Structure 1
Amino acid sequence: MGSGVLCLALLLACPGLADTETPWCSPVKVKYGYANCRTPQGGYYKNVLGTRCDIRCQKGYELHGPSQLICQSNKRWSGKVLCKQKRCPTLSMPANGGFKCLDGAYFGSRCEYYCSPGYQLKGDRTVTCMDNKVWSGRPASCVDTEPPRIQCPSVKEKIAEPNKLTARVFWDTPEGRDTADGILTDVILKGLSSGSHFPEGDHKIHYTVYDRAENKGTCKFLVKVRVRRCVKLNAPENGYLKCSGDGNNYGATCEFFCVGGYDLQGSPARVCQYNLGWSGVEPTCTPMNINVAVRSAAALLDQFYEKRRLLIISTPTAANYFYRMQLGMLQPAQCGLDLRHVTVIELVGVVPALIGRIGVKILPPPLALQLRLLLRISQNNFSLLVMDKHGMDKERYPFPATPAELFTLIDTFPLRKEEMLLQAEVGQSCP
Structure 2
Amino acid sequence: MIVAPKALHFILICFEIFVVCSKVLQEDLTSDSCSPPQLALNGTQTEKGELRIKEDYTHVKEVKFSGSIGPLGEKRLCKIKCIGGQWVGPLCVDQQDNGRFQPLFKNCKLEYINPHLIVTFKNITIHNPGLVFPHGSQLQVRCKELGLYKLLGTANPRCHNGEWSTRLPSCVSTTILTNYTEDAPPTILIKIPSGSASVEPGGELAVFPGSTLHFECLYPRRVGSPDWTWTSPLGQYLTGWAIASEERDWKYRLSIYYAKSQDSGTFTCATPRGITNSITLHVIAVTCDPISVSGMHLTVRVEGTRLGHSAYFQCPTGYIVSGEPNLTCQASGKWSAAVPKCEPVRCPSFSAPGGLTEPHLQLEEHNNSFGGRAVFSCAWGYRLVGNPGLECEISGNWSGDLPKCFPVQCAPPVLPLNGHLIQSESPGMDGGRYAVGSLVQFACKGAHLLEGEASIICTETGVWSHPPPFCKPRCPYTGEPDNGSVAPTKFAYDPGDEIQVLCSPGFESRIEEQRLRCLSDGTWDGILPNCTSYDEI
- More RCO (CA 8 Å, sep 6+): 1
Shorter-chain TM-score above 0.5: no
User: TM-score, with normalisation over the residues of structure 1?
Assistant: 0.34
More helix by share: 1
More strand by share: 2
